[in-house]
Structure 1
């Protein structure tokens, strides 16, 4: 596993907030408590993991669909402006254990998708979070498929072999 795969992105700094160095973070995690006081994250400014900076949360609060976070290491608006667009990452080993039938998005991305009849649809290129259920965007050879991640369609997700087996309902693949 290379260095890139050892870190998981849990947020993105989308803007500054005020003059005291607070930033607006778009959370990319189902566990926003990662941004509670005294927790640490790694800042990746150039998306290449070449220069990672450890940041410690001083305080945070939810505002609309994002979080406002004050990091101890970011003292003013100029410092906050310098980290805008930066990705906030954590080591893979710090991830919370999920129930057996739950998966992190990064685990699903890139998995091959086949039908229960053995036909290859392609690989997962994106996961759309809709609120009620996720939708897997499959990059097929001839077209893109959008498969709802619901139990009556997704029959098996094999982590080890990176394979998802689906039983498409009538008309799903023709859309």
Structure 2
């Protein structure tokens, strides 16, 4: 069975002409190119519905999409709260030192001395660089910036990350 990965979450409808407001969860804007196929998953349902993108435009911090054969608000109202996904076979090859979120989340984080710090539980994208949220045993979460001076190596095969601790990073 093919695995699917999130590229967006439908948070609301937009207007009366069948557009939906999407929070993108992808670095590849071309995922929303008209004519492309996305798979819609409603919460707690693992049966995808194939959708073909008719239009795409940006509005504030959202991507606005409309789909083939969905002409008005009544057609798209049911999509609210669902996720837009792509099959694993549609994923792009990444450059060296680039990773998909699902490859990093769950990795164990060690310092250069080999001490376990915790596990990556989430990735934030505040601006200049990604920030990995590392859940630590008995301590508050650590925020690790994904920059060369901190992240020394990533081994997705073995689920491990090695970091160089900067002063104050883990406090």
Report the TM-score, using the length of structure 2 for normalisation: 0.94
Q: Deviations over 1:120-149 (max 9, x none)?
A: 111001111021111111011012111111
Paired with 2:144 and 2:111, the residues of 1 have a C-alpha distance of 11
Match of 1:37 in 2: 34
CA distances 1:25-62 after superposition (whole Å, capped 9, x unpaired): 1111011211111100000012442x210000011111
Instruction: Decide whether aligned partners of structure 1 residues 97 and 72 sit closer, same or farther in structure 2, where only a CA change above 3 A counts.
Output: same
SS in 2 for 1:142: coil
Report how far residue 163 of structure 1 moved: 0.4
Unaligned 5+ segments in structure 2 are none
1:56 aligns with 2:49: no
Gaps in structure 1 of 5+ consecutive residues = none
Q: CA deviation at 1:74?
A: 2.4
**Residue 132 of structure 2 is aligned to residue 139 of structure 1:** no
2:168 to 162, 167, 171: 171
User: Aligned Cα RMSD in Å?
Assistant: 1.3
Q: Does 1:115 align with 2:115?
A: no
Q: Does 1:152 align with 2:162?
A: no
- Partner residue of 2:22? 25
Aligned residues: 170
* SS of structure 2 residue aligned to 1:16: strand
Equivalent residues of 1:55, 1:73 under 8 A apart: no
